[in-house]
Chain A
Amino acid sequence: MCLAVPSKIIRIDDLVATVDVMGARREISLMILPEEVNVGDYVLVHAGFAIQKVREDTALDSLGLISEMARKMEE
């Protein structure tokens, strides 16, 4: 339940960003992020909020495990 999913920012509208996470688009809040982000950056997303900015290579290496676990959690 404390899983955060790396997601790519594709649009920013003030404190709301649209992200691409494993091919799905979702709106998330940037309210609790400690730093500025730009389109193209990756963030860790948990419960609809970006909780930290991460490097792209991090984002990519985690997707295998995380997508499987996210699926399991939705079962």
Chain B
Amino acid sequence: MRTLIEDIHSLTRRIGRPVRLMEVCGTHTVAVFRHGIRSILPEEILLLSGPGCPVCVTPVEDIDTAVEMARLPDVILATFGDMMRVPGSGVNLQEARADGSDIRVVYSPMDALDIAAANPDKRVVFLATGFETTSPSVAATLCEADRKGVGNFLVYSNHKLVPPALRTLLGDDRVDVDGFILPGHVSTIIGAQPYEFISAEHGKPAVITGFEARDILEAIAMLLAQIVKGEPGVEIQYTRAVRPEGNPRAVALMETCFHPVDVRWRGIGKIAESGLSLREEFRHRDAPRVFGLAVEGGPEPAGCSCGDILKGIKVPTECPLFAASCTPESPVGACMVSSEGSCAAYYRYGIRR
């Protein structure tokens, strides 16, 4: 570890200017704080959080639509716990539950399928969020629902894809990033190839990274070495869990059930082919189609800087509401809600300025 830290310092000296690295994944943001990594890095290295917290990028209207669905007669809405407090334009899911809607927190999409099987007179909607780590599991559950003939299991897909978001960031002139710490478990599924454009088209280094302190330091050293050599590429540091080809079975399942569509990301806006919608073959399980529901986009909470934070343009302490009117107990924006949101991570680890 010692030599790794020394390597990072000497590489940084050789670069001789500030280096801005983006940790794309919310789990990395938390791991960086947890391991105290910022304190051992040279001052010139700035770590920026990226758009990689699926909860934080769920737009207001998707929460509003989910609340509407939960209010329909004989509907049970099931979702992951992280989604319960994400602000919509009206009530959030937790408040909707207190108002009498039947909303349940599940650990796995399979639990939602079990709820459907146990409640044949209800329609059970699984509000599915998450990146490529999660969408294959939901795809498998959809196939399982067909196989078992559970007709009352529906999915409201909010799934998003990581590479299109990175492409959008790289195309934004205000975004200033020298290298990417790429997500570990998303890459367990998709492998390294989908990120090739980062180095091939934009000349930026990228390293797929694990979650231990040593992993993150090693990845930073690898990124700096790429900068020093002037040879950007996509490398895998997290070889324990990521193979170059990813998990082809999971990717195939994902492609069987979903197809890419243009969707909005909270704070960022619409990104082409960055979301997953159910394919025709599964239209009987596509909740928005079955219910004919789609709520129009509402405004972002006033004064919230989540958008610039998700793009690495600002850090949370630059938001005037941070730790003032916006705290984890009463969050204004989604970045303060999720435990993996940048604002929540800064707050929890006591950073105030």
The yes or no answer to A12 lying at the interface (CB within 8 A) is: no
Contact A65 B212 (CB under 8 A): yes
In the complex, A32→B243 CA distance in Å?
A: 15
**CB proximity of A61 to chain B, nearest CB, Å:** 6
Q: Which residues of B contact A51 (CB under 8 A)?
A: 133, 136-137, 185, 188-189, 247, 250
Q: How large is the interface on A (under 10, 10 to 19, 20 to 34, 35 or more residues)?
A: 20 to 34
**CB proximity of B241 to chain A, nearest CB, Å:** 6
Contact A4 B108 (CB under 8 A): no
In the complex, A34→B54 CA distance in Å?
A: 25
Interchain CB contact (< 8 A) of B134 among A1, A34, A58 = A1
**CB proximity of B313 to chain A, nearest CB, Å:** 23
**CB proximity of B88 to chain A, nearest CB, Å:** 18
Interchain CB contact (< 8 A) of A48 among B30, B137, B189 = B137
Interchain CB contact (< 8 A) of A2 among B35, B109, B133, B253 = B133
Q: Which residue of B lies closest to A74 (CB)?
A: B81
Q: Which residues of B contact A68 (CB under 8 A)?
A: 34
Q: Which residues of B contact A3 (CB under 8 A)?
A: 27, 185, 211
A69 touching B240 in the complex, CB below 8 Å, given contacts A1-B340, A29-B140, A49-B108? no
Q: Which residue of B lies closest to A68 (CB)?
A: B34
Contact A66 B211 (CB under 8 A): yes
The yes or no answer to B231 lying at the interface (CB within 8 A) is: no
Q: Which residues of B contact A29 (CB under 8 A)?
A: 108, 110, 137, 140
The yes or no answer to A52 lying at the interface (CB within 8 A) is: yes
In the complex, A29→B129 CA distance in Å?
A: 19
The yes or no answer to B82 lying at the interface (CB within 8 A) is: yes
Contact B248 A32 (CB under 8 A): no
Contact A48 B133 (CB under 8 A): no
**CB proximity of B330 to chain A, nearest CB, Å:** 16
Q: Which residue of B lies closest to A6 (CB)?
A: B241
The yes or no answer to B101 lying at the interface (CB within 8 A) is: no
Return the CB mask of A49-60 against B: 1 if under 8 Å, else 0.
101101100100
Say whether chain A's binding surface is mostly helix, strand, loop, or mixed: mixed
Q: Which residue of B lies closest to A55 (CB)?
A: B240
**CB proximity of A72 to chain B, nearest CB, Å:** 5
Q: Which residue of A lies closest to B55 (CB)?
A: A1
The yes or no answer to B51 lying at the interface (CB within 8 A) is: no
In the complex, A51→B135 CA distance in Å?
A: 11
Q: Which residues of B contact A49 (CB under 8 A)?
A: 108, 110, 136-137, 140
The yes or no answer to B131 lying at the interface (CB within 8 A) is: yes
The yes or no answer to A44 lying at the interface (CB within 8 A) is: yes
Q: Which residue of B lies closest to A35 (CB)?
A: B249
In the complex, A47→B141 CA distance in Å?
A: 11
In the complex, A3→B253 CA distance in Å?
A: 20
Could you list 27 examples of A-B contacts with CB < 8 Å? Answer: A1-B26, A1-B54, A1-B55, A1-B338, A2-B134, A29-B137, A31-B140, A31-B143, A32-B249, A32-B253, A33-B249, A44-B185, A44-B241, A46-B133, A46-B137, A47-B134, A47-B137, A49-B110, A51-B247, A52-B188, A52-B241, A52-B243, A62-B212, A65-B211, A73-B339, A73-B340, A74-B81
Interface residue ranges, A against B (CB under 8 Å): 1-4, 28-29, 31-34, 44, 46-49, 51-52, 54-55, 58, 61-62, 65-66, 68-69, 72-75
Interface residue ranges, B against A (CB under 8 Å): 25-27, 30-31, 34-35, 52-55, 80-82, 107-111, 129-131, 133-134, 136-137, 139-140, 143-144, 183-186, 188-189, 210-212, 240-241, 243, 247-250, 253, 338-340
